[in-house]
Structure 1
Amino acid sequence: MTDNPSFAPKTFAVIGAGPVGCIVSAFLEKGGHRVILCDVIPELLDPARERGIIIEGAENLTQKVSHTCTSVDDLPEYKPDVIFVTAKANALPLIASAIEGFYKKGLYVVSWQNGIDTELVLANSLGKEGVMRAVVNYGCGLLGPAHVTIPFHHPPHYLQELDPEAKFAADGIAEALTQSGLTTRHTDNIVAMVWRKGVLNACMNPVCAVTGLTMSQAMNDPIIFNIVDALVKECVKVARANEILLGWEYYPNAIEYMRTAGNHKPSMLMDIENGRRTEIDYINGKFVEYGRRAGIETPYNITLQSLVKGLESRL
């Protein structure tokens, strides 16, 4: 490796044509990059290539992508420099196994997802050298195939490599995203950032999924708010027991953030409404897991995880 390596990626593959994947695909293509959008559902891909991805709300644009495919196994023919994994975390073991079949040094794989430890699932198959983790700060939903709404967008987004020697590549990826309109910064504190967002997801997602309420409705219902509040405190306790630095004012800031989130359906509620499996094991399930490691009881997280699993069992 040279003393001052640089990385200027030109070709990006995006696995997952849901709202998160459509957003990063559209922005990167608009920024002059070559994008291959991959999903197992062809109906999600056709409009992205033919009509273009439509984004409405806090951002507005329509952008076609260069290529689409329906299998991760097809990606090597496009020779991507970077792969963004934006699919639901519950699909990660299969995705990681598929990428492992063609992975080689110099290819970088970014977990651009919700959930705790998603990057470790990738690293378990691919090794740490080429794996990175991002924290994404926009809310989004799918109105239809390749038609996305963004209720809020609060850049910057953050990115960190698992292997310190790959920092130059993380810098190059962050620069490509920034130049494309998704302002992204390198960080050395991605684990704490993931957990800060993870607490918010663990409090809003399952409560809304179980009750059918939007975030605003849940936060403004005094009975439901008691559950949200108890979840926040329990998650903070687990984080601190595992020496995750959330910040001394995290609790009031988290409550204020959720109170101002708006009349927005979080992704877990939309998954239940659309008959899809959720990411509950990578959200509340992780607080249960890390609670056990530290000897912390997590009755609220266990209850919400179980209730969402119960809803999934009917799918």
Structure 2
Amino acid sequence: MAAAPLRIAVVGCGAMGSVYAARLAGAGHDVLVVDAWADHVQAIARDGLALSGPDGDRTAQVRAFPAPPAEPVDLVVLAVKAADVVSAAAGLAPLLGDDTVVLTIQNGLGSAEEVARVLGAGRLAVGIASGFGASLTGPGRVHHNAMKALRFGAYDGISGGGLPADDVERIAAAWRAGGFDAAAVGDIAAMQWEKLICNVAYSAPCALTGLTVGEVMDHPEMGPISRAAATEAWETARALDIGIVVPDPVVHVRDFGAQMPAAKPSALLDHEAGRRSEIAVINGAIPRESAKVGRTAPVNATLTGLVRTREATF
């Protein structure tokens, strides 16, 4: 028997949030979106949310708002950038009922902890989007060129909390209905680190050079730096006793990159648009986490410093 449709609010309707909203609405869920970009909100409210990609084009009918309406939902998908999670979480009260689950999906490490400090751990789930590539092509229009997997876990998988496993599975089922490869997992922290190892290999190197993932992977100068960043992250995860299943970090990141050689990481897309990236929670997370166990991470620290120096001119 199919799961009952959910009332879902996607807060942060950028490229990834738009893909989530369109496909969830297409599965029959009652979806509303919240975003600060007025033209985007107006286009969605007027014409629907247009999604294009390898599996065809569609237009999803979703309601759109510039701020959260007073309308409690079953699930809030917090899809804003990492720098905006605290303010976004603080504004969610109109959407929250007693049983509302909040799913936070950001790059890197640290966002879930920030959201938990605002909302508590009991209603919080953490999502990981792997192998995705998406871009807004205009107000109310989004294109995705890759879509691999989504994994969800209770925040207590990271630091002790209280969201029941049945609630996490209900989230995964809702996303599977939208055509996503989605699953609930027990150790979401390990999966975060497995993704982070890949992200540090490409985020800063691509942002600094303008190269795609595939170009960085095989570049004579940036390739060794990329691999060193990944190895440093892998060593940090092992020192922290994170339960990653990655025998060889270089093989891990090469396999990841081979699936989307033409992709541009979000950090590079941000730089192309003149925006500051989420580098502080991606490459910048490695030196912070390393310090917790008395280690250093000079490769990722240097890459982070170079990116942030460049971004200071934006």
| TM-score normalised to structure 1 length | 0.91
Distance 1:126 1:21 in 2: 21
Give me the CA root mean square deviation. 1.9
Distance 1:277 1:8 in 2: 40
1:189-236: CA deviation from partner (whole Å, max 9, x where unpaired): 111001111111112111111111111221121111011011011111
Conserved? CA contact 1:9–1:81, under 8 Å? no
Distance 1:150 1:82 in 2: 23
- 1:289 aligns to 2:301 (yes or no): no
Distance 2:163 2:255 in 1: 38
The aligned amino acid for 2:224 is: N
SS in structure 1 opposite 2:152? strand
Distance 1:166 1:8 in 2: 18
Q: Structure 1 9/281 Cα, relative in aligned 2: closer, same or farther at 3 Å?
A: farther
- 1:96 aligns to 2:94 (yes or no): no
Deviation at 1:159, TM superposition (A): 0.8
Distance 1:301 1:261 in 2: 23
Q: Which runs of 4+ in 1 moved over 4 A?
A: 100-104
Distance 1:282 1:206 in 2: 11
**Equivalent residue for 1:203?**
201
**Equivalent residue for 2:137?**
143
SS in structure 2 opposite 1:301? helix
Q: Where does structure 2 lack aligned partners over 5 or more consecutive residues?
A: 156-160
1:20-48: CA deviation from partner (whole Å, max 9, x where unpaired): 10011001111111111111111222232
Conserved? CA contact 1:272–1:311, under 8 Å? no
Q: Structure 1 281/270 Cα, relative in aligned 2: closer, same or farther at 3 Å?
A: same
Distance 1:292 1:209 in 2: 25
- 1:123 aligns to 2:106 (yes or no): no
**Equivalent residue for 2:73?**
80
Deviation at 1:265, TM superposition (A): 1.2
Question: Which of 70, 95, 99 does residue 66 from structure 2 map onto?
Answer: 70
**Equivalent residue for 2:105?**
112
Conserved? CA contact 1:17–1:146, under 8 Å? no
Deviation at 1:309, TM superposition (A): 1.1
**Equivalent residue for 1:59?**
55
Conserved? CA contact 2:72–2:94, under 8 Å? no
Q: How do 1:195-274 residues align onto structure 2 when only pairs under 5 Å count?
A: 195-251=193-249, 252-274=251-273
Identical aligned pairs, as a percentage?
Answer: 26
The aligned amino acid for 1:286 is: A
Deviation at 1:9, TM superposition (A): 5.5
Deviates more, 1:241-250 or 1:16-25: 241-250
Distance 2:94 2:47 in 1: 32
Q: Structure 1 70/103 Cα, relative in aligned 2: closer, same or farther at 3 Å?
A: same
**Equivalent residue for 2:146?**
152
Conserved? CA contact 2:204–2:279, under 8 Å? yes
Deviates more, 1:224-233 or 1:177-186: 177-186
Distance 2:123 2:19 in 1: 23
Conserved? CA contact 1:159–1:186, under 8 Å? yes
| TM-score normalised to structure 2 length | 0.91
SS in structure 2 opposite 1:114? coil
Distance 1:207 1:190 in 2: 26
Question: Which of 19, 22, 35 does residue 18 from structure 2 map onto?
Answer: 22
Deviation at 1:101, TM superposition (A): 7.2
Conserved? CA contact 2:50–2:142, under 8 Å? yes
Question: Which of 156, 169, 179 does residue 167 from structure 2 map onto?
Answer: 169
